[in-house]
Structure 1
Amino acid sequence: MVGPVKHPGSSNITAGADPRLLADLREAVPAADVSTGAEVLDRYVADTYWKALAARAAGAPLGRPDVVVTPRSDEEVADVVRIANQHRVPVVPWGGGSGTQGASIPTHGGIVVDLTRMDRIVDIDEDSLTVTAEAGVNGRRLETELNRKGLMLPHYPASAEFATVGGYVAARGSGVLSTRYGKIEDLVISLRVVTPTGEVVDTLPVPRHAVGPDIAPLFIGSEGSLGVITRVRLQLAPLPAARRFEVVSFPSVEAGVDAVRKSMQSGLRPSVVRLYDEVATRLTLSPVVGSQLPGVATVICFEGNPAVVEAERKSMLDLVRAHNGQVLDGGLGEVWWEHRYDFYKPPHSPELPAVWGTIDVVATYARLLHTYHALQEAVAKPYAARGLKLRSHLSHWYPWGAMIYARFVLPDGGPDSVTLHDRIWKDGVTAALGAGAVINDHHGVGLKLAPYMPAQHGAGLDVLRRIKNALDPNGVMNPGKLGL
């Protein structure tokens, strides 16, 4: 595999809180919003990427900013980015710090632009069912405000308690209701972005048109490497009149995948389908719902008009039974919904000195089971003697395929834990690529997957690099990420 390639312009950038840089920043934004104190800088050395957490714990963080700026408007963001570009200083946007890939770690130093003070919900359009929000709006707060009006942003990522709207988009994320409503890119109507040279750009006000290429998709999933997202307009949905859960068990992953595939391709649109393999059923799902479930347990949710919910539920359960599935207590699905974020908190989530990671890959149905078994062969079996458990569930289903969320946990990596972590990732990603999968569905690339971008994109990565060169000639925007 080819290692991460720096943007050619990154040789021009400099680090350090130069007095002239600080003076310019303090003219552009209130002086109190420009911080160089060690206590402040230390808050930005890690997101939730395992290597970043381990490095911070060891006292040798992967990166640390030289200055943190907390702007309050688009104009202030533009001024900060313009100054950074003039001084050739890196700029790293920061939202909730909940990412898992290291995308927000300032590995080259420079300026962290913390957007959390840009937290206005600008407009809720109840006719068009859209919300316009600044990038720093917290996901949980936004959902609470929308629910008061009988609306929801049908995204619901596991990180909603911490993540921001800008982070949702910059990481190209997904939520638990994606099987019905789509990923974040399906919910974005328009964006406001500050370019690397300091221009404020609004994309077109609608996502469907024929007035040339749409630039909004360019910034979705760009992880701050092409600009700073400062405002987002998103599609909403009414809170469902009915929400009905079922829990079923399949005799095998193969039977479950075939049943869900046929459901999706017949036009059914459950909002949730989470199919846990036997290991994940035992170690992940059962402890959270408080009941030891058999086989390949699957949580399914239907929502919307009550009559449609009942019709979809009946049709899908018929397919479940046709694939030798067993219908269990649907009330456990309600328990799962109420505790859906508990999976990512103690005691259900690992902590150091454990080694962990989530290999979330996506594939067409033709390659999906090949990918699942390839990950078993590359990760679960070779590292079992070290105590590794690979817990896989399939969620985020599409008419053409699905995502595999393969989470490995090793109780203690020992003195070679970083080397071991990297080797597990290399083996897993190489296996996924070999099976014909795409190496990430919704967590992004960041530092973690940057080394594999050439193998994933081929010549397409050169196209992305040329776009990066054109927009960011000095290479100041979040250098070292995305393999750019």
Structure 2
Amino acid sequence: MKSSVTQLVELAPALAAVLGGDAVLTDDAQLDAYTADTYWPAIHARAAGAPLGRPDVVAVPRREEDVATILRIAASHRVPVTAWGGGSGTQGGAVAIEGGLVVDLRGLDTIVEIDEVSMTVTAQAGVNGNVLERTLNERGLMLPHYPASSEWATVGGYVAARGSGVLSTRYGKIEDLVLGLRVALPDGTFFDSVPAPRHAVGPDLTPLFVGSEGTLGIITRATLEVVPAPAERTFAALHFPSVHAGVDAFRTALARGNRPSVIRMYDEEATRRTLSPVVGEGLDGVVAIVVFEGGEPEVTAAERAATIGLARTEGARELDPALARTWWDRRYDFYKPPHHPELPSVWGTIDVVASYRTIHDVHRALQTAVRDRYAPDGLQLRMHFSHWYRWGTMIYARFLIPDGGQDARELHDQVWADGVTAVLAAGGVMNDHHGVGLKLAPFMQAQHGAGLEALRSVKSALDPLGIMNPGKLGL
């Protein structure tokens, strides 16, 4: 829904009248900073001088009440609204493809409360992930999330994209840590979660907004579960004879109640091209990095021994634990140069999740549909298994084409289409933790079927004008 010239001309003064002129950005150089998150097509398009989307106005609220005011003004002017956090999303969820208004939430940067009795933290949506973690660490606590994007990402982005971090196998994804939300709804009112996250007072509405990516409202604060910083963190590195053997070993370990905080298992290609360059070792084959932690060293040691014992029954052999410690210390290096690709390369991560019964079919499907099919284009596919559940696991399938040439965008989109189609046909789910945004919107119908129509009905009820982050989530 493109806004009219009249609507846009009136928007900035209306916002400035209530927020102050310094909270409303209209200069071209300022607006250019909001044309791309880390979605490859957005980066590619911006570099070519033709961004996928560019806001007409940016508002920077300093109070949660300002967000509600902004939404009332946007509704009165029929202007599209896109929320912006740290700009670290990989799916194009923060790209304002219809122009209009971007709401930069980084001004909401207050840690409202750390409750050391209930073990919770309440933080506004714009609080940076690393800032929050350092503050908690000073009190001997941590938010057990630790996404690769924590240097840039915000609390609101954690929740809005339904993200995950490296410690998810022990502590869960963000939806397992969210205890409550405040959300500014499209009509300028607030939704506040009930005070207790577990209740039988009808349906729990809070999860409706987890993963909603600004399409149903704008998250302004979240109450999250925290845990004591571990007294003990130990490391292991394992070499498996095959991916199948590794999956079976960890499936059994989790079924028996063991809870490593990290299981990061690399297939042969990922070990060679991804793991080895970062840890500085010439590794080959299927290698798993495993981390154990907790408050009682004896318990942690027992859990480590039990997990490694089960791995040995599947043919694993132990490698030097220092490899795993090095991985932990350098775990964010994977996402920065020289290990992270740059243009003119084409890249993307087809992260998928499946039950243990189907995960091997999904792994083979990705090999056939992506690695084998696009090998003539120079594609490399590096797959690791990084978030594990009692019922299944996920594959982080990173593809890289060193140079896509003139047809790079078409090649990127076709790789994604073939990969997602193959995953769905094999019984997998197309996304574990990166969100949907623009990238996966075309596949939402195939994934959800009639459920997408139910979601559209919810969207229509909450956002009848259709102004909230148009084009995302297939809505």
Could you tell me the TM-score, scaled by structure 2's length? Answer: 0.99
The 2-side partners of 1:201 and 1:280 are apart by 44
Query: For the Cα contact (< 8 Å) 2:183–2:191, is it kept in 1?
Result: yes
Deviations 1:200-224 (A, max 9, x none): 2211122111001111100000000
Deviations 1:244-303 (A, max 9, x none): 000001010000000011111111100000000000001101111111123100000110
Give 1:299's aligned residue: 289
Question: Are residue 67 (structure 1) and residue 57 (structure 2) matched?
Answer: yes
Deviations 1:324-365 (A, max 9, x none): 001000011110010000000000010000000000000011
Give 1:468's aligned residue: 459
Give 2:387's aligned residue: 396
The 2-side partners of 1:411 and 1:399 are apart by 37
Query: For the Cα contact (< 8 Å) 2:7–2:78, is it kept in 1?
Result: no
The 2-side partners of 1:198 and 1:183 are apart by 29
Give 1:451's aligned residue: 442
The secondary structure found in structure 2 opposite 1:18 is: helix
Q: 1:225 aligns with which of 215, 220, 223?
A: 215
Query: For the Cα contact (< 8 Å) 2:268–2:286, is it kept in 1?
Result: yes
Letter of the 1:188 partner, please give it: V
Query: For the Cα contact (< 8 Å) 1:14–1:88, is it kept in 2?
Result: no
The secondary structure found in structure 1 opposite 2:72 is: helix
1:18 Cα deviation from its structure 2 partner: 2.5
Distance 1:197 1:459, change over 3 A: same
The 2-side partners of 1:205 and 1:381 are apart by 52
Letter of the 2:415 partner, please give it: I
Give 1:163's aligned residue: 153
Distance 1:406 1:368, change over 3 A: same
Question: Are residue 441 (structure 1) and residue 432 (structure 2) matched?
Answer: yes
Structure 2, unmatched stretches of 5+, are none
Question: Are residue 284 (structure 1) and residue 270 (structure 2) matched?
Answer: no
Question: Are residue 87 (structure 1) and residue 95 (structure 2) matched?
Answer: no
Letter of the 1:424 partner, please give it: V
Distance 1:467 1:15, change over 3 A: farther
RMSD between aligned residues: 1.0
Pairing of 1:153-232 with structure 2 (within 5 A): 153-232=143-222
Question: Are residue 315 (structure 1) and residue 334 (structure 2) matched?
Answer: no
Give 2:414's aligned residue: 423
Letter of the 1:156 partner, please give it: Y
1:229 Cα deviation from its structure 2 partner: 0.1
The 2-side partners of 1:307 and 1:294 are apart by 32
Identity between Structure 1 and Structure 2 (%): 62
The 2-side partners of 1:186 and 1:17 are apart by 41
The 1-side partners of 2:264 and 2:60 are apart by 38
The 1-side partners of 2:426 and 2:372 are apart by 17
Letter of the 1:290 partner, please give it: G
Letter of the 1:468 partner, please give it: K
The 1-side partners of 2:436 and 2:8 are apart by 31
Q: 1:372 aligns with which of 359, 363, 366?
A: 363
Question: Are residue 247 (structure 1) and residue 237 (structure 2) matched?
Answer: yes
Query: For the Cα contact (< 8 Å) 2:7–2:79, is it kept in 1?
Result: no
Question: Does 284-293 or 104-113 show the bigger shift?
Answer: 284-293
1:20 Cα deviation from its structure 2 partner: 2.1
The secondary structure found in structure 2 opposite 1:44 is: coil
Letter of the 1:431 partner, please give it: A
Query: For the Cα contact (< 8 Å) 1:245–1:300, is it kept in 2?
Result: yes
1:14 Cα deviation from its structure 2 partner: 4.8
The list of structure 1 runs, each at least 4 consecutive aligned residues, that deviate by more than 3 angstroms after superposition, is 13-17
Structure 1, unmatched stretches of 5+, are 1-9
1:195 Cα deviation from its structure 2 partner: 0.2
Give 2:315's aligned residue: 324
Give 1:46's aligned residue: 36
The secondary structure found in structure 1 opposite 2:106 is: coil
The secondary structure found in structure 1 opposite 2:67 is: helix
Query: For the Cα contact (< 8 Å) 1:15–1:110, is it kept in 2?
Result: no
Deviations 1:378-416 (A, max 9, x none): 000011121111000001100000110000000000011
Distance 1:163 1:217, change over 3 A: same
Give 1:130's aligned residue: 120
Question: Are residue 413 (structure 1) and residue 395 (structure 2) matched?
Answer: no
Question: Does 383-392 or 47-56 show the bigger shift?
Answer: 383-392
The 1-side partners of 2:340 and 2:9 are apart by 43
Query: For the Cα contact (< 8 Å) 1:16–1:109, is it kept in 2?
Result: no
The secondary structure found in structure 1 opposite 2:291 is: strand
1:75 Cα deviation from its structure 2 partner: 1.0
Query: For the Cα contact (< 8 Å) 1:16–1:110, is it kept in 2?
Result: no
Letter of the 2:391 partner, please give it: W
The 1-side partners of 2:6 and 2:258 are apart by 55
1:15 Cα deviation from its structure 2 partner: 6.8
Query: For the Cα contact (< 8 Å) 2:382–2:398, is it kept in 1?
Result: yes
The 2-side partners of 1:206 and 1:47 are apart by 34
Question: Are residue 333 (structure 1) and residue 324 (structure 2) matched?
Answer: yes
Could you tell me the TM-score, scaled by structure 1's length? Answer: 0.97
Query: For the Cα contact (< 8 Å) 1:395–1:404, is it kept in 2?
Result: yes
The 1-side partners of 2:52 and 2:444 are apart by 20
The 1-side partners of 2:24 and 2:17 are apart by 10
Question: Are residue 236 (structure 1) and residue 223 (structure 2) matched?
Answer: no
Question: Does 196-205 or 223-232 show the bigger shift?
Answer: 196-205
The secondary structure found in structure 2 opposite 1:205 is: coil
Give 1:26's aligned residue: 16
Query: For the Cα contact (< 8 Å) 2:8–2:100, is it kept in 1?
Result: no
Query: For the Cα contact (< 8 Å) 1:276–1:298, is it kept in 2?
Result: yes
The secondary structure found in structure 1 opposite 2:236 is: strand
Give 1:381's aligned residue: 372
Deviations 1:117-160 (A, max 9, x none): 11001100011111000000000011011001000000000000
The secondary structure found in structure 2 opposite 1:333 is: helix
Distance 1:319 1:88, change over 3 A: same
